[in-house]
């Protein structure tokens, strides 16, 4: 679709074409193939985080049988944990096969949107022009804005610098001395991939994470043929993986006393993979497993044990023209610095772009601590749906399941609006409050809140505004119906229903 094709008005505008935006648009079209729905995407292709993250070794650390759309099974996956290029290919195929390409405007970035109380619509500004939308779906992703720590001296560094999420493929690391800052889910995937190429690697670790094996295997021709010929077989595998993954949350959220037993496995593996005692000590976390995301990898620990790889646990002091000085005063000479320092999920930039009924932005409402009703709708922001909203992230299963739950909720809400002739729906403050009180209670004893770590699940106010606290089927069940009692509804201009 070209710039000229950006319409003046649209009923449902989806911002972002990653898993979340595609799930939302596909659900709306599945419900009504003639629906007036448009997706705008700032990049030139769909894919979201799976388009942007192209670092060596980038792969999914959730089994692909779950980390794919239930409505679009594929028998083409190479491994049980799919690699980034094939996930991106899959999302492109879904876009084509489900008629989403015709509804997509690429190279179109959201500049701002405000709720127009008189017109009961969203007035949307984009880089390609303005448009009016009745319903706005923010599907801009939680892990889309790379976080770069402010390090003194970084500007003066004479070498190359990039973030894992914006990998510089034009830069050859062969024979270089490379620093990697951060030891999270991204670093553990690319560090083993580049270690053979670099002359020397220095990995700066702030907090060690618990590591468990990634039980990955290739999918052979026989298995793929089976899935192609008998789709039910693949559905059964998906159901089985779903069921055993749900068991994990029992320990993470409900029976946390079980977690030290899981730690024994991680400790035994660490002992087996790292012979050096001092290194092992440096790599042993002091918090309960699961508090931070468990890293699934088979080659991270052996890579850190290599002679040409150093692990530095002293905090970073400054960047110099030729390297990094740590707080112990050691200077590490490097040619390239790679930040694997994660993203800004509790400070999503889109929140600064959305202005609600009272003229304040979502970021101002949230003040550093995102809240929503059912992780999806927000008081003061009529007809706004957040995909991957507050408290929808998981430590045990697939976010795609949550996104599909939210997409169905969106379609249920749209149907309710249509059937009842509603122009606007807005979460009632008390409904949102009750929901968040329940969340806070449910999260209190989970490992994410009480496991003794500091993680990106906790926002600037120390509140857990990221994690869903229990089984994913409970999320789906809560979002199965659209309860108008939870909403202030407007039929026509300014006629807010009593209550």
Binding track over 207-246 against ligand N01, x by CB under 6 A: x---------------------------------------
Q: Which of residues 119-148 bind ligand N01 (CB under 6 A)?
A: 143
Nearer to ligand N01, 122 or 456 (CB): 456
Of 26, 185, 279, 403, the one binding ligand N01 (CB under 6 A) is 185
The reply on whether position 341 binds ligand N01 by CB under 6 A is yes
Asked if 378 and 362 touch (Cβ cutoff 8 Å), the reply is yes
The reply on whether position 249 binds ligand N01 by CB under 6 A is no
Q: Residue 87 and residue 408: Cα distance in Å, rounded?
A: 22
CB atoms within 10 A of CB 290: 25
CB atoms within 10 A of CB 33: 8
The reply on whether position 184 binds ligand N01 by CB under 6 A is yes
**Residues contacting residue 156 through CB under 8 Å, at least 6 positions apart:** 319, 320, 321
Pairing between β-strand 295-296 and β-strand 110-116 as defined by DSSP bridges: unpaired
Asked if 372 and 379 touch (Cβ cutoff 8 Å), the reply is no
Q: Residue 221 and residue 211: Cα distance in Å, rounded?
A: 31
Nearer to ligand N01, 345 or 382 (CB): 345
Binding track over 1-40 against ligand N01, x by CB under 6 A: ----------------------------------------
Of 401, 456, 457, 468, the one binding ligand N01 (CB under 6 A) is 456
The reply on whether position 203 binds ligand N01 by CB under 6 A is no
Q: Residue 322 and residue 160: Cα distance in Å, rounded?
A: 10
Q: Which stretch binds ligand N01 (CB under 6 A): 56-64, 96-104, 113-121, 321-329?
A: 56-64
What's phi and psi for 23, nearest 5 deg? -60, -45
Binding track over 386-425 against ligand N01, x by CB under 6 A: ----------------------------------------
Of 159, 182, 382, 469, the one binding ligand N01 (CB under 6 A) is 182
The reply on whether position 62 binds ligand N01 by CB under 6 A is yes
Of 74, 120, 183, 336, the one binding ligand N01 (CB under 6 A) is 183
Q: How far is CA 80 from CA 63, 65, 299, in A?
A: 6, 7, 17
CB atoms within 10 A of CB 260: 11
Q: Quote the least distance from Cβ 220 to ligand N01, whole Å.
A: 23
**Can you read off the two tokens belonging to residue 497?**
């229903």
Asked if 18 and 50 touch (Cβ cutoff 8 Å), the reply is yes
The reply on whether position 181 binds ligand N01 by CB under 6 A is yes
Nearer to ligand N01, 62 or 402 (CB): 62
Which of 153, 147, 149, 148 has the alpha carbon at shortest distance from 325? 153
Q: Which of residues 277-316 bind ligand N01 (CB under 6 A)?
A: 293, 316
Which of 398, 372, 336 has the alpha carbon at shortest distance from 466? 372
Which residues form the interface with ligand N01 (CB under 6 A)? 60-62, 143, 149, 164, 181-187, 206-207, 293, 316, 340-343, 456
């Amino acid at each position: 679709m070209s710039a000229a094709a950006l319409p003046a008005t649209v009923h449902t505008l989806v911002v972002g074409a990653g898993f979340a935006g595609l799930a939302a648009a596909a659900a709306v079209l599945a419900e009504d193939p003639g629906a007036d729905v448009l997706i705008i995407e700032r990049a030139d292709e769909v894919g979201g985080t799976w388009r942007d993250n192209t670092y060596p070794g980038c792969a999914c650390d959730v089994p692909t049988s779950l980390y794919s759309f239930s409505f679009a099974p594929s028998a083409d996956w190479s491994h049980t944990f799919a690699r980034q290029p094939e996930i991106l290919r899959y999302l492109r195929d879904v876009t084509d096969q489900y008629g989403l390409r015709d509804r997509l405007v690429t190279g179109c970035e959201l500049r701002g949107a405000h709720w127009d109380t008189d017109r009961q619509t969203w007035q949307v500004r984009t880089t390609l022009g303005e448009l009016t939308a009745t319903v706005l779906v923010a599907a801009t992703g939680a892990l889309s804005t790379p976080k770069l720590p402010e390090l003194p001296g970084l500007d003066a560094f004479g070498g190359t610098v990039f973030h894992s999420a914006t990998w510089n493929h034009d830069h050859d690391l062969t024979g270089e001395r490379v620093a990697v800052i951060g030891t999270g889910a991204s670093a553990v995937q690319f560090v083993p991939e580049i270690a053979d190429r670099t002359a020397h690697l220095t990995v700066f670790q702030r907090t060690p994470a618990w590591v468990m094996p990634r039980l990955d295997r290739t999918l052979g021709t026989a298995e793929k043929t089976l899935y192609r010929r008998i789709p039910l077989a693949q559905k059964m595998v998906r159901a089985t993986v779903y069921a055993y993954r749900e068991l994990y949350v029992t320990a993470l959220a409900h029976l946390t006393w079980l977690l030290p037993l899981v730690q024994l496995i991680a400790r035994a593996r660490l002992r087996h993979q790292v012979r050096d005692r001092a290194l092992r000590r440096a790599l042993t976390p002091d918090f309960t497993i699961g508090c931070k995301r468990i890293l699934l990898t088979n080659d991270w620990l052996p890579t850190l044990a290599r002679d040409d790889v150093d692990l530095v646990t002293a905090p970073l002091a400054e960047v110099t023209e030729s390297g990094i000085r740590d707080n112990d005063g050691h200077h590490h000479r490097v040619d390239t610095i790679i930040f694997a320092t994660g993203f800004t999920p509790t400070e999503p930039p889109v929140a600064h772009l959305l202005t609600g009924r009272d003229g304040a932005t979502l970021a101002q409402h949230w003040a550093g601590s995102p809240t929503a009703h059912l992780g999806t709708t927000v008081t003061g922001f009529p007809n706004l749906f957040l995909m991957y909203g507050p408290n929808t992230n998981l430590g045990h299963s697939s976010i795609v399941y949550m996104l599909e739950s939210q997409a169905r909720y969106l379609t249920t809400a749209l149907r309710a609006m249509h059937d009842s002739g509603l122009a606007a729906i807005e979460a009632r403050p008390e409904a949102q409050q009750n929901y968040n009180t329940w969340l806070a209670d449910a999260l209190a004893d989970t490992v994410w809140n009480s496991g003794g770590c500091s993680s990106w699940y906790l926002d600037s106010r120390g509140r857990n505004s990221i994690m869903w606290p229990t089984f994913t089927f409970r999320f789906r069940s809560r979002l199965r119906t659209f309860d108008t009692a939870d909403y202030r509804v407007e039929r026509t201009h300014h006629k807010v229903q009593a209550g």
